[in-house]
Structure 1
Amino acid sequence: MTNKYLYLRFIFSVTLLSIGSSLLFTSASGASTNLPVLSDHSSASVSMASEYRLGRNWARMLRGSAPLLHDPLIFHYLDELLWNIAPHSQLTDRRLELIVLDNPTFNAFAVPGGVIGVHAGLITAAESEDELISVLAHELAHLSQRHFAQRIEEERRNRPLVLAGILASILIAAADQQGGVAALSSTMGASAQAQLTFSRRNEAEADRIGMQTMVAADRDPKAMPQMFSRLQRSYRFYGQRPPEFLLSHPVTEARIADSLNRAETLPRVSPRPYTPEFDIIRTRIEVHFSDQPGEILKRFIADTQRDNPAIAHYGAMLAAMRTNQLELARQHFEQLPQQWAQHAYIKLSELELLLAENDFTQAESRSEAMMALYPDSMPVMKMHARVMYTTGQPERAVPIYKHLLQDYPTDTDSWYQLAEAEGLSGNITGVHEARIEYFLLTGNIDSAIQQITFAKREANLHPSDLARLEQLEAETLEIRRQIKEDL
């Protein structure tokens, strides 16, 4: 367990105890209903610039402490959904960053600075794309209404570590779900409300504005109460512990009923034509998180005789790949219906199969063809770079990763892979620079400084390279100062 993790956990425990004591007092006095509103000066007491800086530096610590899911198809799908609804939200600052965590629990969160986090397991809790979108719309509403700033102002005078505690609770649950629960449970004696990240009023406001966002984006607002009901029913799978999402976003029968009633008053949206993206991604995640791939393979094979053979064949293909039954995987791929077989996500999945089969000639040919069709697609570029690297052409992978990082500068996996490709291509300065960026994005400031020192010792360093390293050194020291100041 890292010192950083222990530090955040300590902050979280101390902070929740102080919040719990405060909530006991405010409940008795009735003051808890007097929350600041957006139109008064209270939210402005925490500047948006401060929120942005704190959230982005916290995101560095999250990337370095919690396992991220580096599946380009899953990330691309969620990122597309987020940007599908963000223009219809009330956000004024749309510098958003999506972080997908390799965590099977049902959770999502929003952090000041436009950081949206999704535990990949949440997708398996949804039964439709709109249900999944409803959670993203809800989190965007928390950001647009600046609920974090309101909470800080509410506790500002006597409890300056409130936001640190809130962020620590998210990080703990993301990095270690059992640890997150233990940290929450340790404070329950002080107050049951100590588990709640937001007030009930803020949750209701996020529901209302989130549903308005959904309508504006031509999505069914009824999907939000449906999703919350589904999460609430999942209690039975968790024993005495609710899903992480319900710990930070408490759902009651009254809240579900209220949101259902509100949805009835909103304009109706037209049904959307079926597309397979949601089913493809949900199936990928289901196979990814299965701890018994042989059993899930049997289930998908049996399901090929039922109502949704496309999902079943795709699931069987992925599960067979996990169990190294590549001929069986190929058989199920060949049985996919045309609508699925022609989908870009399925073609990329076949590229994964071709690499597993060591059919590098076909993999390179298909990958080149996809790059011609989708030259700016994030998952296509990442898969093409992987094919180039795997087929012994790292020098061709380097420009692809650099192109990717222009649009996705916080993609730690691309920085890591770029460093590897630069090394095999013989560009030592490029290795150092990519590693420095990787360490900065994962909050490993000491390693970034050490890497800069190593880079500056290289013989025959070009003046432009030295200038770039000195710039990176200044940025690194500034980030270190900010993190110490904020956290």
Structure 2
Amino acid sequence: MISALAVGSMLLAPLTPAFAQSQERGPSLLRDTEIEETLHEEVDPIFVVAKLDPKRVRILLVGDPTINAFATQGLMLGLNTGTILQADTPNEVIGVMAHETGHLAGGHPVRSGEMTRAGLKPMLLTMGLGVLAMALGAPDAGAALIGNSGYFGTLGALTYSREQESRADQAGVGFLEAAGMSAEGLVTFFDKFRYQEVLDESRRYPFFRSHPLSSDRIEALRAKIEALPHYGVKDSPEAIAKFQIMKAKIDGFMNPSLSLRKYSDKDPSFPARYARAIAYYQTREPDRALKMIEVMLTEQPNNPYLYELKGQILFEYGRIAEAEAPQRKSVELKPDAALLRINLGQTLTNLDDKAKRAEGVAELKRALLSEDDNAEAWRLLALAYARDGDEGQAELATAEQYFVMGALANSRQFAIRARQEFPKDSIYWRRATDIILASDPTDEDLRALARDGST
């Protein structure tokens, strides 16, 4: 689900809808297995030809209605939800991501002279940390880090030169062609917003402030791509279907009231019903949403995301025991999705059944095998241990949570406390010691470790 940094379907925090967020809070970073999978399916072939490992590139989904996309240090490619909603075809989104891949492959986020002169390189490191904390499921902590770094302001300051933009255009077009895709979407997307060129900079979309646009650039791109062999390649019906579902899902979570008008109840298509079900859930009509989901499940009984959504609604409206079955089904259908396992683990650890809580702990640990830097999973694990009175493991899991968030002082404090709960030289004692040593220890911390032979 979409989660503004919580887990599963769409998580915004443990008990907050994934894509749900107040407009007053401004942009949020979102997690959603289905959307992340769709975006990776679209852009992974481009990463491959760009000689970037798709598993190492993080796609960050920013909950913001404006158009923007960006590339940052640490192989992060960001995309505003507004960019997806304003695109007319999957190929337009792919074109934008191919352009940003050009920046990544060219090292522009690191080499930018403007960034260096503005002293933004250190800020970007902090910004990246905040992005990571939020993208991994810790919205509040991530927001604090980002607030300290002027994160979204920094994105606005990352203005690429026209030369870098031209290189990213050329690289992106080359990647698309090498991957057997059309680059037409990049031109059609730019062409729709050609008028941005004449607007005062303060009135432009963020993307066109940081990525200078000009009619000459658009026409030069058009002339180049129209001569390429794969120019006429069209989006597949499957890609179009997933694109429509992605847009409907984003609309349902971020624009629920508008979605109930935009997606007519006379429209029987799956995307329209999906958007409406999510919108009903967001507008506090869970029973109406669940009724629609049940009908859709009769048509798509093997859709893990419908079970995920059903489980999320039940959990968030206090029907925790009922949430277990659909969440189990979502994991059964998609066992490699860490966010779905975290959802199930959260539900099981909230049940008044010690055996199920133990199973929930196992699910969270299994999710951490594939996302060991997921702060939300560590937080839920700490709560589960505390619920069962295992203070040592609760302290250690909390230390892990803060460590992956980059809150080293907090991480060190909890690791020191955890260390006191375990036998000396046990695996958990050693892990707590490692966290202390890696969390900028004070001289007193080091002396304390030396006294018992840890250093």
The question of a shared fold, defined as TM-score above 0.5 by the shorter chain, is answered with: yes
Match of 2:227 in 1: 265
Alignment of 1:72-471 (within 5 A): 72-91=33-52, 95-152=56-113, 159=117, 161-164=119-122, 197-231=159-193, 240-268=202-230, 269=233, 271-275=235-239, 276-290=241-255, 293-300=256-263, 303-306=264-267, 309-336=269-296, 342-355=302-315, 363-392=323-352, 393-458=356-421, 463-471=426-434
Relative contact order, higher structure (CA 8 A, sep 6+): 1
Alpha-carbon distance between aligned partners in 1 of 2:297 and 2:199, rounded to the nearest angstrom: 34
- The amino acid across from 1:272 in the alignment is S
Cα 1:406–1:199, aligned 2, differ >3 Å: closer, same or farther? same
1:124-150 deviation per Cα after TM superposition (whole angstroms, max 9, x unaligned)? 222232222222222222121222444
Cα 1:389–1:68, aligned 2, differ >3 Å: closer, same or farther? farther
> TM-score normalised to the size of structure 1?
0.69
Structure 2 gaps of 5+ residues are 1-25, 132-142, 442-455
Partner secondary structure for residue 118 of structure 1: strand
2:395–2:415 CA contact under 8 A, matched in 1 = yes
2:30–2:61 CA contact under 8 A, matched in 1 = yes
Cα 1:221–1:169, aligned 2, differ >3 Å: closer, same or farther? same
1:156-203 deviation per Cα after TM superposition (whole angstroms, max 9, x unaligned)? 7xx483534666899999957xx7787899xxxxxxxxx562211111
Cα 1:370–1:237, aligned 2, differ >3 Å: closer, same or farther? farther
Answer with 245-254 or 347-356: which moved more.
347-356
Return the offset for 1:339: 6.3
Alpha-carbon distance between aligned partners in 1 of 2:53 and 2:395, rounded to the nearest angstrom: 37
Return the offset for 1:299: 3.9
Return the offset for 1:446: 1.6
1:412–1:441 CA contact under 8 A, matched in 2 = yes
Cα 1:405–1:172, aligned 2, differ >3 Å: closer, same or farther? closer
Partner secondary structure for residue 274 of structure 1: helix
> TM-score normalised to the size of structure 2?
0.73
Cα 1:467–1:259, aligned 2, differ >3 Å: closer, same or farther? same
Cα 1:95–1:445, aligned 2, differ >3 Å: closer, same or farther? same
1:363–1:387 CA contact under 8 A, matched in 2 = yes
Alpha-carbon distance between aligned partners in 1 of 2:432 and 2:90, rounded to the nearest angstrom: 45
Answer with 397-406 or 143-152: which moved more.
143-152
1:95-115 deviation per Cα after TM superposition (whole angstroms, max 9, x unaligned)? 323333344433222122312
Return the offset for 1:222: 0.8
Cα 1:403–1:184, aligned 2, differ >3 Å: closer, same or farther? closer
Partner secondary structure for residue 393 of structure 2: helix
Partner secondary structure for residue 476 of structure 1: coil
Return the offset for 1:409: 2.6
1:428-457 deviation per Cα after TM superposition (whole angstroms, max 9, x unaligned)? 333223222222232222211222222233
Return the offset for 1:84: 4.4
1:208–1:262 CA contact under 8 A, matched in 2 = no
Return the offset for 1:342: 4.3
Partner secondary structure for residue 68 of structure 1: strand
- The amino acid across from 1:380 in the alignment is L
Match of 1:44 in 2: none
Cα 1:125–1:378, aligned 2, differ >3 Å: closer, same or farther? farther
Alpha-carbon distance between aligned partners in 1 of 2:164 and 2:391, rounded to the nearest angstrom: 51
1:448–1:476 CA contact under 8 A, matched in 2 = yes
Alpha-carbon distance between aligned partners in 2 of 1:333 and 1:433, rounded to the nearest angstrom: 39
Return the offset for 1:321: 0.9
1:327-359 deviation per Cα after TM superposition (whole angstroms, max 9, x unaligned)? 321343345497666433233223334435666
- The amino acid across from 1:366 in the alignment is P
Over the residues paired in the alignment, what is the CA RMSD in angstroms?
Answer: 3.9
**How many residues end up aligned between the 2 structures?**
396
Cα 1:263–1:162, aligned 2, differ >3 Å: closer, same or farther? same
Alpha-carbon distance between aligned partners in 2 of 1:119 and 1:184, rounded to the nearest angstrom: 12
1:326–1:356 CA contact under 8 A, matched in 2 = no
Cα 1:72–1:372, aligned 2, differ >3 Å: closer, same or farther? closer
Cα 1:403–1:219, aligned 2, differ >3 Å: closer, same or farther? farther
2:67–2:80 CA contact under 8 A, matched in 1 = yes
Cα 1:210–1:263, aligned 2, differ >3 Å: closer, same or farther? same
- The amino acid across from 1:316 in the alignment is R
Alpha-carbon distance between aligned partners in 1 of 2:414 and 2:433, rounded to the nearest angstrom: 12
Alignment of 1:27-38 (within 5 A): none
Return the offset for 1:211: 2.2
Alpha-carbon distance between aligned partners in 2 of 1:169 and 1:378, rounded to the nearest angstrom: 25
1:297-344 deviation per Cα after TM superposition (whole angstroms, max 9, x unaligned)? 3443xx2324x6322211111111112212321343345497666433
